[in-house]
Amino acid sequence: MKKTFIFCILLVTYVYGALPNVASIDVIEPDIQGAFYYPKFSPDGTRLLMTKEQFVGLWEFDLRTGQTLLISNAPGAGYEPVYSKDRDRIYYLQDTFEKGRRYRSLMEYHRNTKGSQVLIEKERLLTHPLQVTDHGVITRTQSKVLLVGKDTKSENPQTRFVHTFENRLTLYENGKERELYPSGRGNYVWASLSPTGDKILYHKAGEGTFICDLQENILAEFGYANAPVWSPNGQWIAYMKDYDDGHFITESEIWISSVDGKESAPLTNTKDIIEMYPQWSPDSKALTFHDLSGHIYIMKLHVTE
């Protein structure tokens, strides 16, 4: 179930060229207790994946019925899970710790069987699912890029994506990896390919968020913009402006920018709520995000067609 949440969040209205306006903000009310974080829409926009403190466990919330489904209780399960394209399967990580070492497995949950199976077992280094294809998901171990699914496991898939394995910005293209340095040497995080596949959104630690082309030419700058994500229609990016005092996160708001970086505006402007980690709905007409207290929000946008 969801409840219109009108008393705390200030709806931000503004007049910026092509940027969407906020139409409404709702907070969801899962039917199980607890705080949830890092929500992510399903491909049809009817469900959310979400996790708990420090990515422990994975749950699916049905926006239509208000019911919550436990997918996994495992540590790490909530770290960057993805749906299959047909949304019947959910790919997620499962961490185990043995003698101080972390081992990661890639799991596949199937809606029909209501159970999970291991796709890759106990790798010392294994990225979260980096891309979803028709046949499964792509992940990377220490030395290999793999396409894995229920009936599939192959190396060097023919596709294109970017990742930041070990904080290096890397373009994978048809079996080959190429490190990119559009902002010079340093640590890169939060990188993703544009929906059109020809641009890269990335964040360089200490320098900010940028968009570059595949030849490393910087096309747009966004300044202080953390955890940026493309809108599926490719027109905007959403991100958070979070602040801290070195120990505690003290404030954060959700922002939106046009992809050329020329227009930007806050989508939240709240006095007591620390909103973080926005994710787009598949139709680019809504965002979901969490606050530091573990509430999950759905923000609907007025989009000028």
List interacting residues with other proteins (CB under 8 A): 33-35, 52-56, 75-76, 79, 95, 97, 99-102, 104, 124-127, 164-167, 187, 189-190, 203, 205-207, 226-227, 240, 242-249, 251, 269-272, 276, 292-294
Least distance in angstroms from the C-beta of 242 to other proteins: 5
Nearest residue (CB) to other proteins, 108 versus 242: 242
Return the closest-CA partner of residue 179 out of 192, 199, 165: 165
Q: How far is the CB of 117 from other proteins (least distance, A)?
A: 22
CA distance 216 to 212: 5
Closest separation between CB of residue 232 and other proteins, Å?
22
Question: Toward other proteins, which CB reaches closer, 40 or 52?
Answer: 52
| Rounded distance between C-alpha atoms, residue 225 and residue 110, angstroms | 35
Single-letter amino acid code for the residue at 174: N
Query: What's the sign of the alpha-carbon dihedral 105, 125, 246, 211?
Result: negative
CB of 277 to other proteins, least distance (A): 8
291-294, Cβ contacts within 8 angstroms, sequence gap of 24 or more: 292/249, 292/252, 293/35, 294/34, 294/35, 294/36, 294/37, 294/52
State which residue, 151 or 272, has the beta carbon closest to other proteins.
272
The residue among 106 and 303 lying less far from other proteins, judged by its C-beta, is 106
Closer to other proteins by CB, 28 or 303: give it: 28
Q: How far is the CB of 274 from other proteins (least distance, A)?
A: 8
**DSSP annotation string for 133-188:** ETTEEEEEBSS-EEEEETTEEEES-S-EEEE-GGG--EEEETTEEEE--TT-SS-E
